[in-house]
Amino acid sequence: MDLPQKPSRRTLLKGAAALAATPVTGFPAVHAAEPVTLRYLGTAVNQSGDIARKVKEDLGITIEYIPVVTDEVTKRAVTQPNSFDLIDTEYFSLKKILPSGNLQGMDAKRIKLADKISSVFTKGEVAGKKIGDQGTAPRKVFYLEGQDSKKFAGEQTQWISLIPTVYNADTLGIRPDLIKVPVTSWKELLNPAFKGKASILNIPSIGIMDAAMVVEATGDYTYGDKGNMTKPEIDRTIKVLIEAKRAGQFRAFWQDFNESVNLMASGETVIQSMWSPAVTKVRAQGVPCTYQPLKEGYRAWASGFGIPKTLSGKKLDAAYDFINWFLSGWAGAYLNRQGYYSAVLETAQANMQPYEWAFWMEGKPAEKDILGPDGTLIEKAGATRDGGSFDARMGAVACWNAVMDENTYMVRKWNEFIAA
């Protein structure tokens, strides 16, 4: 998944404590009289101190972040539903979480901009055209049959599983200054020309999908669903990886954001699975790095807010208030400036400068220097975004992060590859 550097738990909790100590002024009387704290469980991707400060300022709600790794988010949702008030989790985790009965369907009537949420989620479309939905495409798991249902609905209903927070399309990162041949396909990851200079993401459920994109790009095999392989398909994919590893193709198998940055910035690798913010960080060091569009398309991912069934009363009201605030534009613009995509694009656009929107969302050359939310230089004037516009990037999605039915078997076989 496309994650920036993860702050430490201590840093985030200290930040939350500091926010909790901030005097409440100028907010609706109900919040000022009875301050509400929401315990926000998720990975660090959206757990921004800036977002917490802004919602405190606007609504008087205190956000207490509980940062954990992706698998731990799912585990807590299933085993400790009383330990959080709001969950921010990947859509693919719903197949594990929903059967527990610990999430309540969110009432679309209480989400003010429900009808403005990107059609990527509601219809599996971009600009009116269907996009790839292999794996756990959000549209498959977006609606529930009822508020307390453990089943996904095949059509639009009043009840939503997760309200989108952030999503993106992932591809390969390359060092264009060190690669002397055109890179237009996923199969280049195993090109012998890059022997000892390639790397793949060592998170099994994501790494094997990148590998499947490679296998399919060679023309040797076409999967029924790369996000839900059969055991023979898993065996076939792992066999290709083991052969490449034994031939010396891979320099490393990275799990950590900073590890991927260091591999590319140092030139130890010239082509690898990569996350968008990692490419940005390499460039910030003055090192050329391209997030390369490929003809077979992107592997996409998406996260969203869910509410535990145990939440009620003022805390439930506050959770809806926070989610509505999150969709209202400030947070969306904040995320878009990092290269992510937000749930309601028009409110984010209203909170961005026209030149920012043109660069990030329309694929146009930057009229001015492009800065991140913290003011750091991301791109100089004249640059264009790798892959182009929102419609071009999300319109070329081939598959989505997923949890396979044969996940246990897949992880075992993946570990055999890493150990080979």
Neighbours of 122 (CB within 10 A): 18
Residue 240 inside a domain? The answer is yes
Low-confidence ranges of the chain (pLDDT < 70): 1-33, 45-46
317 lies in the same domain as 366: no
- Cα separation, 220 vs 335, whole angstroms: 38
- CATH code of the domain in which 156 resides: 3.40.190.10
Domain assignment of residue 253, yes or no: yes
One domain, residues 183 and 96: no
Q: Count of domains in the chain?
A: 3
User: Range of 180's domain?
Assistant: 172-296+394-419
The answer to whether residues 358 and 246 belong to one domain is no
Cβ proximity of 406 and 231 under 8 Å: yes
Residue 234 lies in a domain: yes
**Domain shared by 239 and 313, yes or no:** no
User: Residue 325 is encoded by which pair of tokens?
Assistant: 């605030």
Check whether residue 65 and residue 99 sit in a common domain.
Answer: yes
0.85 exceeded by pTM: yes
* Strand extents, DSSP E, 152-289: 159-160, 163-170, 172-174, 198-201, 250-254, 271-273
Distance CA 31, CA 70 (A): 32
| Whether residues 64 and 182 fall in one domain | no
- Asked if residue 134 belongs to a domain, the reply is yes
Same domain, 132 and 61: yes
* Torsion sign over Cα 338, 340, 341, 342: negative
Work out the end-to-end distance of the chain between its first and last CA atoms, rounded to an integer number of angstroms: 25
What is the Cα–Cα distance from 147 to 198, expressed in whole angstroms? Answer: 47
Same domain flag for 339 and 380: no
Same-domain check for residues 344 and 266: no
Say which DSSP state 152 is in.
B
- Of 414, 146, 171, the C-alpha closest to 278 is 171
Same domain, 266 and 312: no
